A = this chain, B = another copy of it.
Amino acid sequence: MKLEDELKQKSFKNPYHRMMVNVMFTGNWLMKELSCQLKPLGLSSQQNNVLGILRGQYPNPATLGLIQERMMDRDSNATRLVDKLLEKGLVTRCQCSHNRRQVDIVITEKGLELLKETDKIIQGLEDRFKQIAPEEATLIGELMDKLREREA
């Protein structure tokens, strides 16, 4: 559905304005599609994001700082996200021995198993985008990178 129909708006001021609104709207829409599908597994998209980061480190531990700098939304509170994952037995947490300020976090076997399920969900979402050609997907990625670029 075109953005104008989604927001029941006749038109936008100019292409830049339409682009800005559309990127925010579509990003939010996609995030909700994902969250909605992860919900039956009892995971939020941020929790899934953290688990994915931990799998990337596995079998090495990750500190909260490492997690934070790799999260999609860096304003989320890594401490409390890990609390939730801990409650569900998806990660372990223990004080790092050589630097007691740090906390080592490792994904558990159960966490790795759960990620196999979320991989299927992500795959399903990717399949949902068949109307986008692979070259277009690449292009969108490039344009998003360019959008965030800063001029000198």
Sorting the interface of chain A by its residue count into under 10, 10 to 19, 20 to 34 or 35 or more gives 35 or more
Among A83-91, A93-101, A110-118, A136-144, the one that faces the other chain is A136-144
Q: Is B146 touching A18 in the complex (CB atoms < 8 A)?
A: no
Tell me, in angstroms, the Cα distance from A30 to B148 when the chains sit together: 8
Tell me, in angstroms, the Cα distance from A137 to B130 when the chains sit together: 23
Q: Is A138 touching B3 in the complex (CB atoms < 8 A)?
A: no
* Overall SS of chain A's interface: helix
User: Given that A16-B132, A56-B9, A131-B149 are contacting pairs, would A30 and B22 also be in contact in the complex, using a CB cutoff of 8 Å?
Assistant: no
Q: Is B70 touching A8 in the complex (CB atoms < 8 A)?
A: yes
Q: Is A148 touching B26 in the complex (CB atoms < 8 A)?
A: yes
Residues of B within 8 A of A69 (CB): 8
Tell me, in angstroms, the Cα distance from A20 to B126 when the chains sit together: 8
Q: Is A141 touching B30 in the complex (CB atoms < 8 A)?
A: no
Asked if A41 lies at the interface with its beta carbon under 8 angstroms from chain B, I say no
Q: Is A19 touching B145 in the complex (CB atoms < 8 A)?
A: no
Q: Is A19 touching B70 in the complex (CB atoms < 8 A)?
A: no
Please name 7 pairs of A and B residues whose Cβ atoms are closer than 8 Å in the assembled complex, sorted by A: A16-B126, A19-B129, A19-B132, A19-B137, A23-B30, A24-B72, A25-B144
Residues of B within 8 A of A148 (CB): 1, 6, 26, 29
Q: Within the complex, what minimum Cβ distance (angstroms) separates A64 from chain B?
A: 15
Q: Is B31 touching A141 in the complex (CB atoms < 8 A)?
A: no
